[in-house]
């Protein structure tokens, strides 16, 4: 008897193929639970590394802000030509005395100053060491040089034939020059005896300024009081 072959239907073939495919896919695919575990661990590691980087950056920024470099102060160095307590002559103010020496700081610059008090104007000013020569700050004239200027006072006045305004400018320049010889010339030219013609107010005022400046320097150089020095100078002027 011939063996009867089993008839295989299309439905059965489909079922078998789908089962095989599913098994293969199941082997290749990673279960969803494992996926979630891996994703969580990677997220945690990323967060940790990002936190570390942020901390390092913050530390660097804080260091830069908290510890800035201190600005350097520029010191202007100049020779000290005068001492505290010394008498000096400032061309535009006359005889003065150095009270103290101070340090002054401005715009990251430090320099030393002379603190000078003036007898005639009752004024106190500060002069930097650097500007002392430029201004014309000088020592009191020595006694031998001062006595030589007395010979100028003995001379007759030399008055120019010009308008008073022009002569006043020349006298003013001589008074503020700081030169003791020019100052003595102004005293000589502007002095008037009691029996001579009267002066204008501006002439008398200019003479008074020149006379006081000259007398104060003469008194210090000759070790005399101001009153003694003024009487001596007036005697010389009246005798000519």
Tens digits of per-residue pLDDT, 14-69? Answer: 454 455 445 554 554 445 544 454 455 665 565 556 666 556 655 655 555 556 67
- Residue in the block written with tokens 């008897």: 1
- What is the topology classification, in CATH, of domain 74-139? Thrombin, subunit H (2.40.10)
Q: Classify residue 94 as left (phi > 0), alpha (psi -120 to 50) or beta.
A: left
CATH number of this structure's domain 143-239: 1.20.58.1290
pLDDT at 80 over 60: yes
Residue 194 — very low, low, confident or very high, per pLDDT cuts 50/70/90?
confident
Sequential DSSP letters for the chain: -PPPPPPPPHHHHHHHHHHHHHHHHHHHSPPHHHHHHHHHHHHHHHHHHHHHHHHHHHHHHHHHHHSPPPPPPEE------S-TT-EEEETTTEEEEEEEEEEEEETTEEEEEEEEEETTTTEEEEEEGGGHHHHT-EEPPPHHHHHHHHHHHHSPP---SS-HHHHHHHHHHHHTT--HHHHHHHHHHH---TTSPPPPHHHHHHHHHHHHHHHHHHHHHTT--HHHHHHHHHHHHHH-
Q: Is the pTM of this model over 0.95?
A: no
What pLDDT is stored for residue 130 in this prediction? 93
Helices 201-221 and 180-190 cross at an angle (nearest 10°) of 140
CA dihedral 12, 18, 19, 22 (to 10 degrees): 180
pLDDT > 90: percent of the chain: 56
Q: What confidence tens digit (pLDDT) does each residue in 200-226 have?
A: 999 999 999 999 999 999 999 999 999
């Amino acid at each position: 008897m011939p063996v009867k072959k089993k008839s295989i239907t299309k439905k059965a073939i489909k079922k078998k193929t789908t089962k095989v495919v599913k098994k293969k896919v199941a082997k290749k695919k990673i279960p969803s639970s494992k996926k979630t575990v891996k994703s969580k661990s990677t997220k945690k590691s990323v967060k940790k590394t990002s936190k570390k980087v942020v901390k390092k950056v913050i530390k660097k920024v804080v260091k830069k802000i908290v510890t800035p470099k201190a600005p350097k102060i520029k010191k202007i160095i100049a020779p000290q030509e005068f001492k505290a307590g010394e008498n000096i002559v400032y061309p535009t103010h006359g005889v003065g005395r150095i009270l103290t020496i101070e340090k002054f700081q401005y715009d990251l610059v430090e320099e030393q100053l002379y603190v000078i008090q003036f007898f005639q104007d009752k004024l106190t000013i500060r002069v930097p060491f650097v500007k002392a020569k430029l201004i014309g700050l000088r020592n009191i004239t020595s006694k031998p040089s001062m006595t030589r200027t007395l010979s100028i006072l003995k001379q007759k006045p030399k008055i120019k034939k010009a308008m008073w305004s022009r002569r006043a400018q020349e006298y003013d320049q001589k008074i503020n020059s700081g030169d003791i010889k020019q100052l003595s010339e102004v005293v000589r030219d502007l002095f008037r005896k009691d029996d001579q013609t009267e002066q204008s107010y501006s002439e008398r005022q200019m003479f008074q300024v020149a006379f006081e400046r000259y007398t104060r320097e003469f008194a210090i150089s000759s070790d005399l009081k101001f009153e003694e020095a003024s009487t001596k100078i007036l005697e010389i002027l009246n005798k000519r």
